[in-house]
Structures are given as structure tokens and as C-alpha cells.
Amino acid sequence: MPSHRYSDVYHKVSVPLTDRHWPANRITAAPLWVPVDLRDGNQALAEPMDPDRKRRFFELMVTMGYKEIEVGYPSASQTDFDFVRLIGTAGLAPEDVTIVVFTPARRDLIERTMESVAGLTNDVVIHMYTATAPVWRDVVLGRSRAEVAELIRDGGRDILELAGDRENIRFEFSPEVFMLTEPDYVLAVCEEMTALWDATPRRPVILNLPATVEVATPNVYADQIEYMHRNLARRDSVILSVHPHNDRGTGIACAELAVLAGAQRVEGCIFGNGERTGNVDIATLALNLHAQGVDPMIDFSDIDAIRRTVEYCTRMPVPERHPYVGDLVYTAFSGTHQDAIKKGFAEHRERAARLGRSEREIAWQVPYLPIDPADVGRSYDAVIRVNSQSGKGGIAYLLQTEYGLDLPRRLQIDFAHHVQRRTDDTGAEISAATLLDLLTTAYSPTGGRIGLSDCTVQATEVHLNLDVDGVSREYRVPVAALAESLAAEFASDIEVLSVTHQTRRDGSAVAYLEYRIAGKVHWVIGFGETTVCAALNAVIAVAESTLPERRTVQVH
């Protein structure tokens, strides 16, 4: 591959910054999030949103708590123009939501943009952009540095003139392709705009510095943002904003480092939709903060409902491995992961009980799960799923959560071999229902040669009548040693190694019986209404195996 063709990229984006501060900083509060799904994200769709979809998307963002929303490019299409008008005429935006509209630095398009927001009583941001990087100046615009600067000034004057004295209008400027623009030039252009628009702390100007095309590592972008942050003359009158794209797959890192470097505002799309490889993903950024103990200030507590709306509006699916929202991001197939998660859930419950607090109140420390899935409206049902890569922990977790079966550890190990053979044969994921069927087939076999006709518990003894191959037999065995005593009645070479009783959520009982015969260890499982009945059914299953012409029994 001709990699040498790109070797001078770092030279093009170098920044005169040697004593950078951002590496030592920490994000302690959420920036202002500005979703651009209705403009930038919409332009990136093969089939742009119709008015109904745009309205539904806008209402979703309001519900989630966004306070500033870029709603369209009114001069680009009648659909966008009409939608901006609809926001005002239908009263779609609450009073505390700022509406942002996008325009190039061209008078006729600025006029059309201003027409779209006429009558809006909400705060409005007129967002003007012009490409400033050398290749764009030379190839796209065909203008010199001075001519592009004058183009920007003209656009700024037009906006100032057409905005009149409307106090609800503020201004935003984006030097498009900021990250490939000479630092001295972009600083000078931005300084001119803050002076032209008379930026003050009461009426600040937004300077949006986009990584229009990612061309360097995130630390370089952070240096560029810090350079601007430290050198702008009216810094207290500027809201420093970033708009990263994701060409290198590091848009999220660029945004996070940019905030460390002084950015106060982040433009992006909820799940990262955008031109080429997408805009920065606000959901991931916000939930990254949540995972660090910082309130993201946006409500993602029902992330699946948000995803359904976004998928409907954009006609694009969210990938299964998308951070935080994908179908499989809280799911473990790997055996080591499953075992750790299972133990983590158990420890979390025990810790909450020790502290006398609810599980939702205490610190989250579950391996492999950076946040509690319940925070975003997910249940624990699909946290662990079983396939050929799974281990005993995952298998046990599914049986425990779905059916209340708490298998002893040695039984988990033994059963895992049965599951492995099944999944290796099929190559497919295995459901909890199939696991239960496989478990009962392996350890509660069907036979029917021994039947229980009567069972009474009297003080410390169990009195029972069994039909063995049609012949009635009466037994009296101690409750405390039911399994051992009854097994000895059938065969002296059966050695009961352990019996574990469990009461299930529905009040029924299970007995897990481990025994050795002819030098080999086996397991059976008995089910019943009481622990005695469950243990009895387990022993009956063992006993059937000792009868001549061995056959198996169904354990109920």
C-alpha cells in the first residue's frame, strides 16, 4: 500500500503548543450537548427524513433533555425550511430549548435562513460556516487566505444586519476543516468574528472547531483546541465548541480530549450517524461520563426506546456491538466472562444486604460490565447467553435466573460437558429452555420401573411404599440420612457423596445428588413439592440404575 503518500499529514496539522495542560485535566461536568441529527445526520442519509420523522426525532431529543438542538439547513431544501417554520407555528420547542439553524456565508442563503426563524420566540443560534483549510481554499473555493477571510466577514455582516436587534438571536461560526487550517489563520478569522459580532459574557459567540475529516491522532486535535482556548482574546465571551467526525474511528476520543483541552460544547449525533464514517456519538460520550460518576445531563434511562425511534427515523439499524445500546453489549458468551459476571452479581447482592441498602444504591463493581444495564433500562435476562464458547458459569447463571436452579459447582462442571457437546454439534447459541431440557434429560432420566405409592414423614423417619417392577415394598428410613439409607436398600455398592437441597422461588424443591458406583461419580436431580420428596425422587433415579437390565426413570 502506498502509505508514503500521507506521510506529511502530521506536519500539516502541527500546533505551536509545547506546554500543553490537557493531559493533566479531568472531566468533572458534562459539556453542552448539541445533537445535529436533524441537519448533519439527515444530510448523511440515503433517504433523508420526511417531516413526520423529523418531528418525531425532534420530540425525542426534547424528551431526553437536550437544551440546544440544530434543527436543519433551511436554505438547502423546502423540507428543512418548512420544518423550521413548523417548530414555531406548532410550538414544538419548550421555552428553554435553543434552536440552531445552519447556513453558508452567502447572503441569499443567509436571507432564506433568517426567513425560516422569523417569529420564533425561543433563543435562536444562526450557525454560519466556511471552509478555511488550504486544500478547500485552493480546490473548492478558488480563493486566497485574504479572500476567504473577506468572504467570512461579509457573511458575518449580513447576519448582523438581517438579525436586526432581535435579542433572542445569537451567532455561531464554524471554520470548516478547522483541524487542517493553519493555527494562526484560523485564530485570526475567529477573532474577527467575535469582534464583529461583539461577543460578551452576556451574549457569547459560539466558535465551533470541527474535525471535519479526521486526519491525526486525538492528542493532536486536543492540542489544536487548547491552542485556541489559551489564545482567544475574548475567551470569557466565547463558547468553545467541537464537532468531530469519525474517519479514523477516534471521534469519541477526539471529543473527550477536546473537552479536557477547554471545549465547553460538543456537536454530534445521538448514535453517531453522519457523513462517511459518521459524526461523534453523543450517547457513547454521555454514558462514558455516567460510567465515571459524572451526570451526563441527558436521559438515556430507556435506551432501547431511544434506539427504536432513531432507527425508525433514520431507517438505519444500530449495530449489535454499538457501545451501551447494541443488543449484545451487555451479553457474555465467553466462559471466563460469564463466570466472573455471575460471581460479581452474587457479590453485589450480598454487599447490598450487608449494608442494608438496595442494589441500585451501592457502588457498581461487577466484572466486565462498566455500568449496570438497569441504568439504561436493560434487564439482566440477556447478560449471559450460551454458545460453544461458554463455560459453566454462564450455563449456571441462565438456569438460576430463568428457572431458579442453583447447581452445585461440581455439577456445573459435569453439565458443562453435556452442553459443550450439544453446541459443538449444532454450532448455534443455546437457549435457557434448551438448557433445562438437556439438564433433565441428563440427570432426571425416564425409566418408570420404580414408583412411589405412599410417603409419610413421622418425626425423624420417612415411611414410604415403593412399587418396584410391580411389587410393593415398604421402607422406613431416617429423615437425616434419607438418601444414604434408601440407596443402601437397593445396592450396597452405591456411595452417596453429597445431597444438596434447594427451595425454588415457586416454593417447590430440588435435590442434587452426587454418588459413586463402580468407581465412577454420577449426578441425579430430583424435583418435588418438598425437600424430602425431591431427595426421594433423586434416590429413586439412582436406584433404577442398580436394577437388572438397567433402565432410567423420569424424575418429577
Across 52-66, 305-319, 354-368, 473-487, least confident range: 473-487
How would residue 478 be classed by pLDDT, with cut points 50, 70 and 90? confident
Rounded mean pLDDT of the chain? 89
Share of the chain above pLDDT 90, in %: 61
Output the CATH code of domain 3-314: 3.20.20.70
> 268 forms bridges with which residues in the sheet?
35
> 128 forms bridges with which residues in the sheet?
103, 173
Alpha carbon distance 37, 69 (integer Å): 9
All CATH 3.20.20.70 domain ranges of the chain, comma separated, are: 3-314
Name the CATH code of domain 450-544 (choices 3.30.479.30, 3.40.50.720, 2.40.128.20, 3.30.160.270).
3.30.160.270
Q: What is the DSSP string of 59-94?
A: HHHHHHT-SEEEEE-TTT-HHHHHHHHHHHHTT-S-
Confidence (pTM): 0.75
Across 121-130, 242-251, 380-389, 467-476, least confident range: 380-389
Is the confidence at residue 34, as pLDDT, over 60? yes
Q: Which residue has the higher pLDDT, 490 or 65?
A: 65
- CA triplet 528, 379, 323: central angle to 5 degrees? 140
Alpha carbon distance 217, 263 (integer Å): 17
Is the confidence at residue 373, as pLDDT, over 70? yes
Beta carbons of 216 and 179 less than 8 angstroms apart: yes
Q: Which residue has the higher pLDDT, 334 or 226?
A: 226
173-182, 366-375, 392-401: which has the highest mean pLDDT? 173-182
Across 88-102, 167-181, 254-268, 478-492, least confident range: 478-492
Alpha carbon distance 472, 174 (integer Å): 92
pLDDT at 449: 73
Alpha carbon distance 65, 300 (integer Å): 10
pLDDT at 536: 83
Nearest to 49, CA basis, from 72, 66, 75: 72
Q: Which residues of 89-116 are buried (b: 16+ CB within 10 A; e: fewer)?
A: eeebbeeebbbbbbbbbbeebbebbbeb
Is the confidence at residue 393, as pLDDT, over 70? no
Q: Stretch 20-32: mean pLDDT, rounded?
A: 97
All CATH 3.30.160.270 domain ranges of the chain, comma separated, are: 450-544
- CA triplet 271, 277, 279: central angle to 5 degrees? 45
All CATH 1.10.287.1400 domain ranges of the chain, comma separated, are: 335-443
How would residue 553 be classed by pLDDT, with cut points 50, 70 and 90? very low
6-13 contacts: CB < 8 A, separation 24 or more?
A: 9/215, 9/216, 10/216, 10/220, 12/180, 12/215, 13/179, 13/180, 13/215, 13/216, 13/220, 13/224
Q: Stretch 484-499: mean pLDDT, rounded?
A: 75
Q: Which residue has the higher pLDDT, 92 or 496?
A: 92
Is the confidence at residue 189, as pLDDT, over 90? yes
Cell numbers 442434587 correspond to 512
Residue 335, SS3? Answer: helix
**Helices 183-196 and 218-231, axial angle in degrees (round to 10):** 40
Across 138-142, 363-367, 439-443, 538-542, least confident range: 538-542
Across 291-295, 349-353, 381-385, least confident range: 381-385
Grid coordinates of 133: 483549510
Is the confidence at residue 323, as pLDDT, over 80? yes
Q: Stretch 416-425: mean pLDDT, rounded?
A: 79
CATH topology classification for 335-443:
Helix Hairpins (1.10.287)
Q: What is the DSSP string of 341-372?
A: HHHHHHHHHHHHHHHTS-TTTSPP--TT-SS-
